[in-house]
Amino acid sequence: MSDIDVKPGQRESATFDRNTIHEIQRAATTGIYDIRGFGAKRKLPNFDDLLFLGASMSRYPLEGYREKCATDVTLGDRFASKPLHLQTPITIAGMSFGALSANAKEALGRGASEVGTSTTTGDGGMTPEERDQSRHLVYQYLPSRYGMNPDDLRKADAIEVVLGQGAKPGGGGMLLGQKITERVAGMRTLPVGIDQRSACRHPDWTGPDDLAIKIEELREITDWEKPIYIKIGASRTYYDVKLAVKAGADVIVLDGMQGGTAATQEVFIEHVGIPTLAAIPQAVQALQEMDMHRKVQLIVSGGIRNGADVAKAMALGADAVAIGTAALVALGCNDPKWDADYRKLGTAAGFYDDYHEGRDPAGISTQDPALSSRLDPVAAGHRLANYLRVLTMEAQTLARACGKSHLQHLEPEDLVALNVEAAAMARVPLAGTGWIPGQGTY
Amino acid sequence: MKTVDLNTSTVRELNQALHDQAKQCDEREWLVTHPAGTHALACGLDQNISVDIEGHAGYYCAGMNQKATVTVHGNAGQGLAENMMSGVVRVTGDASQSAGATGHGGLLVVEGNASARCGISMKGIDIVVKGSVGHMSAFMGQAGRLVVCGDAGDALGDSLYEVRIYVKGEVASLGADCIEKEMREEHIAELSELLQKAAIDEDPKTFRRYGSARQLYHFKVDNASAY
Ligand SMILES: Cc1cc2nc3c(=O)[nH]c(=O)nc-3n(C[C@H](O)[C@H](O)[C@H](O)COP(=O)(O)O)c2cc1C
């Protein structure tokens, strides 16, 4: 974490840097792969590599504060009789009770409801705390089907069929024994204290044709009321989005490789999937080719941190975004006030990613009653609401500067890229040029 | 008895009618004719009613069933009674893949054979199959009981948690962490009760019991080959 002890002349290898050497030593000692939470930590082309072209002569901007820049979004009006109408397009991503404490889940619900957006259950079922505090609750339908039941399905405001996550496309979930308390075990029908791995494929369907029938069943059970989302980890996004639309999705949730996780092998987090930036244009192209852009809504997640990220994702064609890691940080994850406790765990505030160990000093990714009581769900919910308001206002600021009266009016033409990689992935021109690599335009 | 003819009504109309009358529950016996292998028949029921389907059903018949008794007089497609919570689902013919998948409760009876992954990820349901089951049955089974009066295909009970499996015939192979276990008095009693509930005439003493060795319950270097 610091270079203080290293004398000049002591040259660190770029190939075998300290982290690499440490990992070899760790693997040799334990004989098991490294598991951790958080998302990819390597540097990736991302939203910071894009810039907005503010309005000047050829376009005129909107007046901050005075001229309206709307932020609401409707999700799921393709087939569902009760689509969601949210006040801000920034939603809370699915995070399981089990990975997170009941207090954390409640806080997410409170924060989201305060600003009129939705929150999402996770791989562990729906808790009453979360349902009670969430105005719009999306119920995940995962391969594990832990706690899945028709009563909760009917209580949900939308159903999200999870095929994958950006942190681990092609992987199942895991929750280690430390976190399988009696309540968590009961909700998942598992023995207390075991290391649990959840399936990576759904148990009762395989390909997209089966999925279409599965979606029909879910709609029949809920009388065609609920929007049905399909969540995919970004990999072969162009094809996956086309298949998801064909299978009957109302909404597609696209999670890029930066997306957070509660517990996954490090090798999986860092080496599988494509960056969010590269995935969005593929998804939008697929939707446009099917004449489904804006008809099947696109929610993008994976590394969204501020209002600029929100605005850029929307300019590239997303209808809404979802946040996981940032929401946890807003609640209090990695808060410096717990630094002494983080240090006892061999880490520091700002670095903590061992969500799977269940010893989170901030009381968020834990099932330990003493630790989770550190998180006040009301105060943490307010912090999240504040943060969501800031993201919304930041996105509005940028949209107004581009002359847009609705966040959804942002468009790729408002963007340029700072480097060739980002230009090629996001399919916007390199700043100061008309060049989009790979598009044959100059 | 109320009859719904799927030659003239849609599945949507059938399911909506079944759901709509749930509160008063004034019609307790339903007959569905001409199902012709349609999907999602009689799913999401949550009342103590009986539904008889006169013919073959498609995928996810009686999905997420609560309390109701659903009988398919024919064969059933993939995911029969998936995620069932309670009640009884019976098929007089064969069932396709993933019958009773992730079921949390209730009783599923297959009078013919069940295909691959019967009882996959089961979470408390009881499944009794008069014939044989295909490969990977009770894969990752968490709770409940699977009874097979015929044979079981490859990798029975792979990565099993706490499901108890009873098989009368041959088991092609056992999956990771699944082992044969002693058939004690309490198991004979439990099996006898299950067979009785399913109305299947077999001698419980002729069955063998399989369950989890519980060796994969914790990440261990020794288990690396199973990961
Ligand atoms: C602690 C934690 C738990 C998660 N649990 C789930 C889950 O149960 N189901 C799921 O689909 N995604 C899960 N995710 C992934 C999120 O839904 C989302 O895709 C991701 O966090 C978005 O990326 P971001 O963290 O960069 O915002 C989890 C993420 C975190 C950080």
Complex ipTM, two decimals?
Answer: 0.96
Contact A175, A356 (CB under 8 A): yes
Contact B20, B47 (CB under 8 A): no
Q: Identify the domain containing residue B140 by its residue range.
A: 35-216
Nearest CA in chain A to B214: A194
Contact A157, A136 (CB under 8 A): yes
Per-residue confidence band for A156, with pLDDT thresholds at 50, 70 and 90: very high
Distance separating alpha carbons of residues A77 and A85, to the nearest angstrom: 10
Contact A227 CB / ligand 1 (< 6 Å): no
Could you give the angle at which helices B11-20 and A208-221 cross, rounded to 10 degrees? 30
Residues in chain B, total: 227
Strands (E) in A53-170, as ranges, are: 73-75, 84-86, 90-92, 118-120, 136-141, 158-162
The verdict on A177 touching B (C-beta cutoff 8 Å) is: yes
The DSSP secondary-structure symbol of B43 reads -
- Residue B219 confidence (pLDDT): 74
Contact A262 CB / ligand 1 (< 6 Å): yes
Measured between alpha carbons, how far apart are the two ends of chain A, in Å? Answer: 44
Instruction: Work out the average pLDDT over A357-372.
Output: 96
Which element (helix H / strand E) includes B189?
helix B185-198
Instruction: Tell me which residue in A150, A188, A223 faces B64 most closely, judged by beta carbons.
Output: A150
* Phi/psi at B144 (5° precision): 110, -175
One-letter amino acid identity for A5?
D
Distance separating alpha carbons of residues B161 and B44, to the nearest angstrom: 27
Give a yes or no: residue B77 inside a domain: yes
Contact A161 CB / ligand 1 (< 6 Å): no
Q: Which of A426, A302, A442, A437 is nearest to A52 (CA)?
A: A426
Query: Can you give the residue ranges of every domain in chain A?
Result: 47-332+375-426
Contact A334 CB / ligand 1 (< 6 Å): no
Residue of A44, A46, A95, A174 best suited for mutating to test ligand 1, as the one with most atoms within 8 Å of CB: A95
Query: What are the tokens at B83?
Result: 């995620």
Closest ligand 1 atom to the C-alpha of A326? 27
Share of chain B above pLDDT 90, in %: 91
Nearest CA in chain A to B81: A204
Distance separating alpha carbons of residues A73 and A319, to the nearest angstrom: 7
Give a yes or no: residue B6 inside a domain: no
- Residue B75 confidence (pLDDT): 98
**Coil, strand, or helix at residue B26?**
coil
Per-residue confidence band for B222, with pLDDT thresholds at 50, 70 and 90: low
Distance separating alpha carbons of residues A63 and A405, to the nearest angstrom: 10
- Residue B26 confidence (pLDDT): 80
**Residue located nearest, by CA, to atom 5 of ligand 1:** A95
Share of chain A above pLDDT 90, in %: 91
Distance separating alpha carbons of residues A413 and A423, to the nearest angstrom: 12
pLDDT digits (tens, 9 = 90+) for A262-303: 999 999 999 999 999 999 999 999 999 999 999 999 999 999
The DSSP secondary-structure symbol of A357 reads G
Per the rule left: phi > 0, alpha: psi between -120 and 50, beta: everything else, A377 is: alpha
Locate tokens 């879910």: which residue? Answer: A218
Query: What are the tokens at A352?
Result: 């903590």
**Coil, strand, or helix at residue A220?**
helix
Asked if A213's CB is within 8 angstroms of B219's CB, the reply is no
User: Is 70 exceeded by the pLDDT of residue A441?
Assistant: no
Give a yes or no: residue B194 inside a domain: yes
* Range name among A115-124, A191-200, B213-222 with the lowest pLDDT average: B213-222
| Mean pLDDT, chain A, whole residue set | 95
Question: What CATH code is assigned to A47-332+375-426?
Answer: 3.20.20.70
Distance separating alpha carbons of residues B157 and B175, to the nearest angstrom: 5
Q: Contacts of residue B58 in chain A, CB cutoff 8 Å?
A: 213
CATH number at residue B143: 2.160.20.60
Q: Which of A247, A278, A83, A101 is nearest to A161 (CA)?
A: A247
Q: Which of A90, A114, A120 is nearest to A314 (CA)?
A: A90
Instruction: Work out the average pLDDT over A228-256.
Output: 98
| Bridge partners (DSSP) listed for residue B50 | B29, B69
Asked if A204's CB is within 8 angstroms of B98's CB, the reply is yes
- Residue A3 confidence (pLDDT): 60
- Give the B-side interface with A, CB within 8 Å: 11-12, 15-16, 19, 39-40, 43-44, 46, 58-60, 63-64, 66, 78-79, 82-83, 85, 97-98, 101-102, 104, 117, 120-121, 123-124, 139-140, 142-143, 161-162, 217-219, 221, 224
Give a yes or no: residue B23 inside a domain: no
Distance separating alpha carbons of residues B8 and B20, to the nearest angstrom: 19
Whole-number Cα distances in Å, B165 to A122, A190, B81, B173, B207: 30, 17, 19, 13, 10
Q: Closest Cα of chain B to A306: distance in Å?
A: 38
Q: Contacts of residue A213 in chain B, CB cutoff 8 Å?
A: 39-40, 58-60, 78
Whole-number Cα distances in Å, B11 to A291, B57, B75: 29, 11, 18
The verdict on A53 touching B (C-beta cutoff 8 Å) is: no
Count of structural domains, chain B: 1
Those residues whose C-beta lies under 8 Å from the C-beta of residue A203, and which sit 6 or more positions away, are A143, A145, B82, B98, B101, B102, B117, B120, B121, B139, B140
What is this structure's pTM?
0.96
H helices, E strands: number in chain A: 15, 16
| Mean pLDDT, chain B, whole residue set | 95
Per-residue confidence band for B24, with pLDDT thresholds at 50, 70 and 90: confident
pLDDT digits (tens, 9 = 90+) for A11-61: 999 999 999 999 999 999 999 899 999 999 999 999 999 999 999 888 899
The verdict on A223 touching B (C-beta cutoff 8 Å) is: yes
Locate tokens 């959840």: which residue? Answer: A198
Bridge-based pairing of strands A251-255 and A228-233 is parallel
Asked if B162's CB is within 8 angstroms of A145's CB, the reply is no
C-alpha A319 to ligand 1 mean position (Å): 19
